[in-house]
Structure 1
């Protein structure tokens, strides 16, 4: 959308909305005053276009409550039932129409976040400030607060690169639907959205074999961690591998302090073994984020599960979704609307056509491929170079062109 046309649209709609909604706004002023007291409005500095600060105005939804030391209590304790209803209906956002009219915000754009986050962004995430922030945005209609920070930032930057009049209309219509559906208002286990703490934790990788080297290099190139380390149980393990320090054996992972400083990744090719290690790390309190090579293409309209690694030149297209702990190996492709279960391994050069479904613990060998809309069961092994054109049930090994069962095994 041309910037001038977008601005004229913002002015016309925000002015008309403020006038038309004035009775509702006056009632909300009364209701907030009655339920929460003064002040009625929540005013806070937020970064706008190019990071320039402005004062964003919303209706107040939380009560003033502090602990014995004067620090504000968590959001879950300050957010009242009345405030929850305001947020669920997005009525707390209506005063931002004034920010839109003044030119500090737009109707559609990345949501303005806290100023404290500014020094924490990497170069990619900072691109969200190339446009005016919005009352609603692409991230809000694709998960709102229920998606992770990396997903939110990816959606924000996707909007920056693809903004148009018709995309804005689509977002506005979807926003109306979201208000009625009331989904994605908060993140799992949170009253609102967890605090963004930045990108520079450390990463410990379990498994220092050949696969571990590629995982470590992918993590390093992603720029997401300030340091990458290994743990490995081999008796003859070296002190470092390709410049990545080896901290010791896996017994170190039981140190309860370690999850506070380190995220974790599992570099084990075997699906069942990877699942076992993943579950152990999860039980110990480690975060297991997805690791994506900068030379991979992952659509912001896809969903990548926790602990999944996407290697160089791999592609995950719009509408696709992976479970946790998957491997999308070098130059593999996952086409639109594919569904991968947990701990699936897609080997180098393997290609899944659109709408393919793959069950937990299944493995596509090097150079294999699937026809569109086939269904693969759990713990299925697809041999190297195999061409899958039929559905297969659990536990099979299939080979050939077209792929046929080689041997049935118990799972």
Structure 2
């Protein structure tokens, strides 16, 4: 890549912090090693090293939008702070070419005793933006931030959402050539976040370089062409956003399942608890796991708890999958044992798929479909479809119902969180579902 095309160059970047067990150790570190060296003895350290970054190198082209992904503590914020110049590296170098506007920690750089208007002018001056130009744009900053009369109140009186609105409004009105956004949109109402995302896209279309950090992989995929994955301060992968973010989601999903199962094993099992699906920590990405029930449901209730033996999301071969690709055939399998005291006449098995906010995205029941159930005690019901869920995390609800009264179901058992799974698409989709839609055009 030509040096004229590079907006950001990071070369062998490392950052080490000294962690002290007690405040007095910091004083000891300042004095004792010097005294020991004076008398010819080897110095000792009173701290332990924590490497937030280890030998990270990459380049970002002018006009490119790059997403930085990684779990908490992976070094994302440290990296951006070094790029912005607010933190000095321990090793390596960073060079930027163009005016940098950054949205880092909430309200970073604000003087809390100053008013919002004064902080607008102060931040613009720090960024090297002419004060006359900023004065001319003050009404635009005010209109976008929607702060009203609060613009002339001290920033210390602002809520977290007001901090975010002011910081973002300043950043987009200083004509940034490089825009850095670090989880700054995680606060504030949904309408303002949507407005900010539209403005980021406008800045992107003008040819600015953008570094975007978010835990929302969907937002990263929507905005970015490229992803850099950090873990424990090291660069894991750097390349096309879709395959890298997909592998990152798989890793996060396996780790979350392993952590939950570890907690479940450590805790004393309550009476009537159900067995979960097996050791996901030992399962490779995308590999099938045992058909069963998750040990940590969101909710689990009903008049006959225990009639659901297993429920899971499976592939076309009936193998349980923690990750299902978009467009792939999938099955929902529910195994039950129906005791004699449950009447069969109005018996129904149902499933729903919810997002992690608890919204029902898809519901299907044997009662509504007119599917006849056997009279045997134990049986399995299969629900078949193609996976049309866009990239994200979801959970399975399994239920055994009495549908004698069509409008109100009596639940023999309701198990919300029988299986937590991810859907992955290698294309950029919007919305929640992406079904096959036939299109046609007719001239008027």
Higher relative contact order (CA 8 A, sep 6+): 2
Greater helix share, structure number: 1
| TM-score band w.r.t. shorter chain | under 0.3
Give the TM-score taking structure 1 as reference length.
Answer: 0.26
